[in-house]
Structure 1
Amino acid sequence: MRVVDQQASATPKRTTPAPRRGVGSLFAHHTHLFALTLSAGLLVADLLLLPGFGVTSQLAALAPLGIAAMASVPSIMSGRGGIDLSISPLMTLSGLLYATQLQPAGLGGYVALPLLMAAGALVGTVTGLLVVVGRLQPIVVTLAMFFVVTGLDLKLSPSPTTISGTWMAGFAGSMGGPVPGGLVALAVPVALWLVVTRLTTYGGLLRSVGGNDVTAFTSGVPVGTVRVLAYALGGAMAAVGGLVLIGLASTAEAGTSTAYTLIAIAAVALGGLPLQGGGGGMANALAGAAAIYLLQSLLGALQVPQTWLQMIYGVLLIGAVLFGALTARTPKEGR
């Protein structure tokens, strides 16, 4: 026995080498990289085909889509299929409230921003309460809110309302300096997200609820409150998008209520945000929105008929989903 023990102790132990992280593993851990890489390639193509591709104007045009995508993130991260279909009409509602209520009342300056964000958060809170307290499917509740808010938009302004000489015109250019207005508009929801998720424990709670709400509940996490706050946070972000819309067009109209409903969800999905909840963040939404916007610019430069756009979006999304599914398996296979 001693001889065997000595031989066993003398035999060096073989250690399994740590798996190397390849490209697939990198994309699996950073789900926004696919859309980011796609955006980089599309940007190069746009710069080559569009000589007048200005940074300021392009960021201004990208801002509404980017904000709509970012506003969709919190509810999706909260789990239970929390895709908020009311984001687009809520953006329009924000612009109409400014044009028909705040500006005539002498509140047309910067003070309008927090007021409209509070109004958007209130609408989002109502949506979240219907989901949580009523124990209803988010897709049904948000679809109902889509119709309700669209009706409010039509009630506030049956015909377009023209806005002139306001500070929001800076969103289409610069906000008094070298910083593009579109970049400032995109930075507001990002800043709100960072404050809420980095300076408080809410970010970790949201991920735990979206990942497994049963486990989170048994751990003492207030699941219902976290979900309601997610919808409220998305509503506040959407309100910023409403100001950008009327800043670009100098007009507030109910016809834009449905403009970003589906394309914002497409941007989030293309950006690699897990639609089952619990993961991702603003980077996914921004990368996906940039990819879709740059693709639109490229197809316009190539004079591709509008009838092909929807099919191209669908094929691109299918490819992104398949790529995400393949890369998601990579870390597991390497273990």
Structure 2
Amino acid sequence: MSPAPGFVSPVRRALLGMAAAAAVVLATGCQPAVGGGPPEPDPVSTATAASTPGPSSTPTSVPTASSAPSVTPAPSVGPAPSAGPTIGGTAGPGTGASTAPTGPSAPPGRPSVTGAPAPGAPAGPTSVPVTPGRIQPGVVRTGPATHYGADGGGNCMFDRLTDPAMPVVAMNELDYETARACGAYIEVTGPGGTTVVKVTDRCPECGPGHLDLSQQAFARIAGGVPGLVDVTWRLVSPADIGSVQFRVKEGSSAYWLAIQVRNHRNPVVSLEVRVNGAWTALPREMWNYFVAPQGLGPGPFTVRITDVYGEQLVETVNLAPASVQTTGSQFARH
């Protein structure tokens, strides 16, 4: 008996379904997924996924030379030509040796801190205003005069006299003025005459105006009067006495420095040393040395001295303890 219209046997339906599935596989070229999972990704999607490292990936092993252009060093990594001036501009005075760039990267022609010319250093004597002290030019003083066995030594710490007949004086405490009077030349007039003496010592017990003269000086002005006479005295500038001298005290070093000025025609009121491009005044001690308690290094030192008239001389002083250094200059005569 023939089947009714529209009826398909179960066996034939199964065969038709299998034929259709085979046709689909052949048309797409893909294998059916096993277990119903998603289809395997094509090569294009695989390469894309590999180029993006996951959380557990090591970045250095994934990028290639063509995919990491930032690995190539930029020109700014090397020393820039402006590095030298920048460092030099921020370095403080005296620090150029430790902060200035070295080698080819340093800009050509850059002056060092120590090699720079000292601005303002006078080529010759100059003059500046000076604060008046007790002993002033043109002022005549009066007071008593006595005498003692002077030998040229004393508080001013000059050398003892090579000529015992040279007249010297010990200045009273007030006019000694913390050694400012040391080395000054004083013209003394008494009842017996006039003489010029050099201040080499201090008389602590003497009152203002009092001069304690060497015996030779007293004999020249006292007129035979023993012991004590009244005198007048004033500051003078002697004739040729040679050049100014400096003496660096025993024990001076890079860490403690004491400088004395000697053989100056006029009283010295200040001594300065150029430190890091600026003038630094050294305090004067009662024993007539200008002292830098912490020292100023190994030297040599550029030193500027000023006399009571405001004249300034600039000289070089070496760190040579216990030696006298003679210059080629002298203060003007007044």
Q: TM-score normalised by the shorter chain: which range applies? A: under 0.3
TM-score, structure 2 normalization: 0.26
Highest Rg: 1 or 2? 2
Please state which structure has a larger fraction of its residues in strand: 2
TM-score by length of 1: 0.26
Which has the larger helix fraction?
1
Structure of higher RCO (CA pairs closer than 8 Å, 6+ residues apart): 1
